[in-house]
Amino acid sequence: MNHLAQIGSYFIMIREVFKKPTKWRIMKTLILKEIDELIYGSLGIIIFISFFIGAVVAIQTALNLTNPIIPRNLIGFATRQSVILEFAPTFVSIIMAGKVGSYITSSIGTMRVTEQIDALEVMGVNSLNYLVFPKIVAMLFYPFAIAISMYVGIFGGWIAGVFGGFLTSADFVSGLQSEFIPFHIAYAFIKTLLFALVIATVPSFHGYYMKGGALEVGKASTTSFVWTSVVIIILNYVLTQMLLG
């Protein structure tokens, strides 16, 4: 019953976020600040992880193609499919749940502990709109980061495959172009957009409604990461079944 009550509180929070909006002059500044911290500030780790994930996928595929009958361009095909369908949208999102989610929970939780949220409410400000709405808008730009992740991941696979001596550049590009289905890109971005909303709202929920002191802020950050990851994995299964099943 406790989990059901929390799920209900979560959806009530989502509804309250869009009530009594903050003035646009103030909101614009908050949104730009969140874009800088949540998206731009995460590009470094996204690029780093994506490059080596693409490289590892290409190497592992190449090492498992021991039959000479199997064409080498399958390495490019496997790298493209793995990076676009799963590794870029899902794996990177779980990493972001740790990096961005922990930041969101700790920042809002600290404001709760230091009674800054209570001060906003006393001044007549909708604290949920003021704190959570800019994060939701900022995370709508998250698909652009995942597009970069896809490109860098495939590039990493090309580097590892070609310079590792597993196949030629022409074979890798041929595999990339083989049996390409444009809807797979749309599927990846649909997943990414929903993951972005989860990353913005679930950690905000745990930070906003936390109780206690500084120690509880750390516990809330850990809990938010666990639940954000769980929701992302469940959503990934449901969306894959709905869109590709």
The answer to whether position 48 is within a domain reads yes
Q: Is 11 within a domain?
A: no
Is the residue at 175 inside a domain? Answer: yes
Assigned domain for 31 exists: yes
In a domain? residue 190: yes
Domain interval for residue 177: 22-244
Total domain count, the chain: 1
According to the 3-state scheme, what is the secondary structure of 157-195? HHHHHHHCCCCCHHHHHHHHHCCCCCHHHHHHHHHHHHH
pLDDT tens digits along 28-55: 888 999 899 888 888 899 999 999 998 9
For the chain, how many residues are written?
245
User: What average pLDDT does this structure show over 16-21?
Assistant: 82
Instruction: State the pTM of this model.
Output: 0.87
* Percentage of residues in the chain having pLDDT higher than 70: 100
pLDDT at 72: 78
Q: Is residue 223 part of a domain?
A: yes
Q: State the CB neighbour count (10 A cutoff) for residue 164.
A: 13
Domain presence at residue 224? yes
Residue 82 lies in a domain: yes
Nearest CA to 195 out of 239, 152, 151 is that of 239
Distance of alpha carbon 112 from alpha carbon 226, whole angstroms? 21
Give 157-201 pLDDT, tens digit per residue: 899 888 888 888 888 888 888 888 888 888 999 999 999 999 999
